[in-house]
Amino acid sequence: MERELWCLIVATLRRLPRRRHAQLTYSDPQILAVLFWAALHDRSINWACQRNHWPGQAWRRLLPNQSTMSRRLRDPSTIQLIQQVLDRLQVVHHIPTRLILDGKPLSLRSHTGDPDATYGWADGGKRRGYKLHLVIDDQQCVRQWIVKPMHESEPVVAREDLVPALGQTPTLNGLPVLADANYDRNPLYAATADAGLVLLAPRQRPGTELGHRTHHPDRLTSMYFLEHCSGLRKHLFVMRGDIERFFGAMASFGGGLISLPAWARRLHRVRYWVGAKLAINAARIARNRTLHA
């Protein structure tokens, strides 16, 4: 399967638009090829820069050295390029019926020297590291993603980064966004409504009084349906399991995202490493769909 995934990634890299700059010795596809080769084999960037770790037919172009990779990958445009690869690997031909929002902790050792890694709640306790915030649709296509330090609140990241970006896609207008009880916040309901979406998130303590605060109308609607329509509540619970299966599948094949390796430290490195893993997972999904078509 590794060879098939790599062929899909190379074909996608060749379709990327080319930047022409006199000071660029290596093109963007050459830089991304080294990153994806390292991520596919769960090895460091330095390992992927060495020609003896490449089969002759895998990549015939020149390979940049470690310092060039560090400089180019630090460029903010790297994430945009990875996003282009991800979008091309998961070409969307369907009209989605729902979106699912969740976060995946990426924990490190508590004694790590990474200054960007922070403490936050994960897996039932305090952990230090980062968190992947993700929105997928009902066909396992990644619609939005971002990596933040662990301490940043999931509802705040969703409100400030994910939901406004979703609102810029007209085909998503009016779709329900399924989330767990952690996202049951009035400001997030307001941001979701402003983006043309409908948030459905259960309360942490269903059946309790609302107090004297003013609540967003979408939150009241969500509470009514989820607490008074048991059939709908069970149906939404089953559909929300899609993102758990997505995270599980992404960690169950060679080259998937299981945990952060020792060389993925500092926020910018974690972001491009996770982005590469999402693209590899998209290639896996595309390959499986082709086999079952």
Q: How many other CB atoms sit within 10 Å of the CB of residue 248?
A: 11
Q: How many CB atoms lie within 10 A of CB 93?
A: 5
- Digit-coded pLDDT (tens) for 29-63: 999 999 999 999 999 999 999 999 999 788 888 89
Q: Output the six-digit token pair for 286.
A: 């595309």
pLDDT of residue 161: 96
* Residue 19 pLDDT > 80: no
CA distance 251 to 284: 12
Read off the pLDDT band of 124 (50, 70, 90): confident
> Mean pLDDT score of the chain, rounded to an integer?
90
Cα–Cα distance between 203 and 283 in angstroms, integer?
36
- In this model, does residue 12 exceed pLDDT 80? yes
Residue 233 has pLDDT above 90, yes or no: no
Residue with tokens 């109308």, as numbered in its chain: 217
User: Rounded to an integer, what distance in angstroms lies between the CA atom of residue 290 and that of residue 139?
Assistant: 14
Could you give the percent of the chain with pLDDT greater than 90? 65
- Looking up tokens 């390292």, which residue turns up? 38
Of 19-23, 208-212, 227-231, 275-279, the least confident: 19-23
Instruction: With beta carbons less than 8 A apart as the criterion, state whether 121 and 153 touch.
Output: no
Residues 34, 54: contact at Cβ < 8 Å?
no
C-alpha to C-alpha distance for 9 and 145, rounded to whole angstroms: 20
Q: What ranges make up the beta strands (E) of 185-291?
A: 198-200
More confident residue, 230 or 273: 273
**CA distance linking residue 138 with residue 112, whole number of Å:** 37
Select the highest-mean-pLDDT range: 46-50, 58-62, 90-94, 224-228: 46-50
